[in-house]
Structure formats: C-alpha cells, structure tokens
Chain A
Amino acid sequence: MSDLHTAVIDICDASLDPVAALAFVSDPRFGGIDMFIGKVREHNLGRVVTGVSYDLFEPLALNTFQEIGERARRKVGGPMKVYIAHAKGDLRIGDIAVIVAAGTPHRDEAFKACRMAIEAVKHEAPIWKQEHYTDGDSAWSEGCSLCEEHREAEQTAAKRGAAHEHGHDHDH
C-alpha cells in the first residue's frame, strides 16, 4: 500500500472526510499526526459569501499533489504518510474544501510536512475558486501565477519586502 494518497472529490459524489484522512496517515510507527482542514467561510474581503465553486484541471492537479507529497517526503527524510484531497464543484458555507494530513514518528516532522503541503497546494495546484455573493454577483479569486516570468516577479517583490508576499491581493 502506498504511503501517499491524493484525490479530487466531486462534491456531487461525496464530501471530504477527515476520518478517512486520519485513518490513512495512522500507522503503528507514527506518534505524530497533523491535519489541516480548509472550509468555505461566509466572508471574504468584506463581502458576504453564499457559496464557492471550485474548478480544477484534474489530471495535472493529481500530478501536482503527488509531486508535493514526494517533496514533503524528501523534506522530512524519514517514514511518513501524506493525504491530500481537494473538493470540486459547488460548495456551501462550512463545507470542507481541502484536507491535508501527515503522519510521522514525531510531531515536528508532521507539522512541517503538513504546512509545506497545504502551502504548495494553494500556490501550485491548478485549482480556481469562484465566490458567490448575497447580491447574486460572483467573482473568480485573485490567485498565484504559475507562469515562470510572473512567479519570478512575485518572488522578487517578496524579497524587496512588499506588503504581501506574492504581490497580489488575496486572503491567505
């Protein structure tokens, strides 16, 4: 059995399941488990949100999750299990959008792997969020460019101490 589980879950078929994530990363060798759960919240940038739609480029998203899991393994260097799942489709307030979990022998590696993996999912995976508002309007969130020239520009801006580390205005 693999020690890396990646999934894109269509919200029409099933909800994301923290219990399944916990079960996957549990192991008799592991005393530390860290899990990040991202949920849809009712406010963003001062507007009342009624729901969120996630669009994904599924094959590349799964490839990216796999690559992120392998990178986390290299960073930690020891035994580890990682679970990465993201929702697709129309979510309501309180629905789970993403779960990242890591199980390792001790807590420090679990925290590090989980943090690294969720940040990478947010910044690198081909996923787009469209927010719907109470007034019937909707908008795609500002995001992180995957285009190399723009990534370099964003990183340079971050090094110069720009107010926001990616040089654009989103809320993570």
Chain B
Amino acid sequence: MKVRITLFGALRDADPHGFVELDAPESCTIGTLRDLLREHLREHAPQISAGLVQRSAFASEDEILHNHRTLPENGQLAILPPVSGG
C-alpha cells in the first residue's frame, strides 16, 4: 500500500513537499515502516540523521502510534521529531 508520511520540525528538511510517500506491505507495523523510512532518507536525504528518525514518533491525527501498531487503513501518517513547544 502507498503510505504518505507528513513531515514536521527538523524533518521538514527531508523533502521540500513536506511529505514522503513510500510503498509498504499491507498491515505492516510502524516499526517496519520506521526501517523503510530510514532507508528512504539515507538515499534521498542523507543530511537527516538516522538517530533523528529513531527518536521520532509516528502518529495519526488522533494519537501516537508506537512500533507494535499496524499502519492506519487510510495510509496517512505523520512523523514527529522530539517536541519543543511552549
């Protein structure tokens, strides 16, 4: 399935469109998607550190999705680097 990952904060530098699209296996976990994204960025945005992807969380519009969760059916996700509000 096609997955669109919206970028925020320091990860916006990974793609000028503000998102990355990946092909992921049906019902794959967030942990697997994290590995796919790390590989994609290593190739297409080498300035982004793998450590930043590791410290980031995936989320839907409603909640944080931890590594054991499966991809949402609509294929829409956000990746959230460490937060610094306030």
Interface residues of A (CB under 8 A from B): 38, 54-57, 59-60, 63, 86, 97-98, 118, 121-130, 140-150, 168, 170, 172
Contact = CB atoms under 8 A, between A and B. Distances in A.
Interface residues on B, range: 20 to 34
B83 A126 contact: yes
Interface of B: 6, 8-10, 12, 54-57, 59-64, 66-67, 78, 80-86
A145 B85 contact: no
Contacts of B63: 60, 63
Given A60-B63, A63-B62, A140 B55 contact: no
B84 A129 contact: yes
B56 A125 contact: no
Nearest to A146: B57
Given A55-B8, A63-B62, A140 B84 contact: yes
